A and B are shown apart, each in its own frame.
Chain A
């Protein structure tokens, strides 16, 4: 098992993870905690109470340019979203697209609550930061700047009791609805807090200055509702919530339509196009894609893993598992993957090639666990 090699980057919470007994692994070039007391316990605690995650490895960025409309238009030139109509303090999920229509990254876009004055906040996947930075540099004129907020940490507090714990230190948080954000204070620390996350639960992401990160994290961990949660449970939580993970369920060959992310293609953009890969993506919207991201429920107790072939009942290969494991809340193995379109209806009987040969499985609707966002 990989441990903290010297060439791995560390988040501002590195020493805290070690003090809390976190088992550190290499992830996207960072030394990150995969678990503390155990993945199953951390997963269940998050669904029942509140889990604190360090997601400081993700890429916090500010895109700025000459005016709010200009910045919105710049982002629209490389994504299928609409950002001119993004209200102050609102967030939107979008996709960075290649000219082939494949997905370069998925990201969150936040318009500052103060309006922005020519700025949008972005959060990139950790493993895609360099690629995204280069792409913005290539595609946007020099009047736009993408600033890396490397002096900031990002914490996620997720679960039904997250609001109780956070509101004691940041009362503004309780007034937010899902996918909204505000500048605020956590006790006396400046922060940007949003009601968002990657678990399917109600919860928040809190961006703080690196020098405040340990104090904020320790303050939250002192709340009775909160325990630290590692990347292992983050993965099982997002898998149950049906949320795709870049590099596994999404890559440069998958289109937004195949990935079931057509909601990220704004209505206006479906008519006007004008984003990378629009030919393919609009055609797939009209005619249907050749393959689709689906949930997979193995019939047995054995988890199926990423890379396993999905077979029709006649043993022909119809797709591939892209994420798979055990769903602690479902109390059964769960997976997601891509299948040829004729097999994508929930309830379709398929097989998954396992270590023990083909095993029966069923195509399932996503998510496996219904979301509990506060809208």
Chain B
């Protein structure tokens, strides 16, 4: 299991060649109450940096960028009825999507837990 973070406040939890992706507790707190999440289609191919999901909070809409490249193999359809999961458990039950990694080496460029905590502390 490899857990990595991006400067856009996404987390990537890779197990084998499949990575689960969501937004961090820091991001969820900054966004405020999430009221809608637009997720990609299963089967969609995404490149690192693509806007692949949209999270709408009471305050504003924000894009979620693919932190790595791959094919969407599963999305968290529970978020359709319970978008508040993103606030309640952003780094577990509030996950967004699972990607089958096409370029696993992209994980190496992302931050580990300690580096990400230092990054958010600096904001």
Residues on A close to B: CB < 8 A? Answer: 1, 34-35, 38-41, 232, 236, 301-303, 305, 325-326, 328, 333, 355-356
Contact = CB atoms under 8 A, between A and B. Distances in A.
B contact face: mostly helix, strand, loop, or mixed = mixed
Given A1-B30, A38-B32, A303 B38 contact: no
Interface string B63-82: 00000000000000000100
Interface of B: 30, 32-33, 35-36, 38, 54, 56, 58-61, 80, 87
Given A236-B58, A325-B58, A326-B58, 18 more contacts: A35-B32, A39-B32, A39-B59, A40-B33, A40-B35, A40-B58, A41-B33, A232-B32, A301-B36, A301-B80, A302-B36, A302-B54, A303-B35, A303-B36, A303-B56, A326-B35, A326-B36, A356-B38
Contacts of A39: 32-33, 58-59
B82 to A, nearest CB: 12
A241 B20 CA distance: 41
Nearest to A302: B36
A159 B80 CA distance: 31
Given A1-B30, A355-B54, A305 B36 contact: no
Contacts of B80: 301
Contacts of B56: 302-303, 326
A305 B58 CA distance: 11
A303 B61 contact: yes
19 contacts: A1-B30, A35-B32, A38-B32, A39-B58, A40-B33, A40-B35, A232-B32, A236-B58, A301-B80, A302-B54, A302-B56, A303-B35, A303-B36, A326-B35, A326-B36, A326-B58, A328-B58, A355-B38, A356-B54
A326 B56 CA distance: 9
**Which A-B residue pairs are the 4 nearest by beta carbons?**
A326-B35, A39-B58, A40-B33, A301-B36
A211 B54 CA distance: 46
Contacts of B61: 303, 305, 355
Nearest to B84: A40
Contacts of B33: 38-41
Contacts of B32: 35, 38-39, 232
Nearest to A34: B59
A301 to B, nearest CB: 5
Contacts of B35: 40, 301, 303, 326, 333
A45 to B, nearest CB: 13
Contacts of B38: 302, 355-356
A298 B7 CA distance: 33
A136 to B, nearest CB: 34
Contacts of B59: 34, 39, 232, 325
A305 B54 CA distance: 14
Contacts of B87: 38
Nearest to B60: A305
Which has the most chain A C-beta neighbours within 10 Å: B36, B56, B60, B87? Answer: B56
Contacts of B36: 301-303, 326, 333
A300 to B, nearest CB: 8
A331 to B, nearest CB: 9
Contacts of A41: 33
A367 B5 CA distance: 43
A183 B87 CA distance: 44
Nearest to A43: B58
A309 to B, nearest CB: 16
Contacts of A1: 30
A37 B81 CA distance: 22
Which has the most chain A C-beta neighbours within 10 Å: B30, B35, B36, B80? Answer: B35
A305 B59 CA distance: 10
A301 B38 CA distance: 9
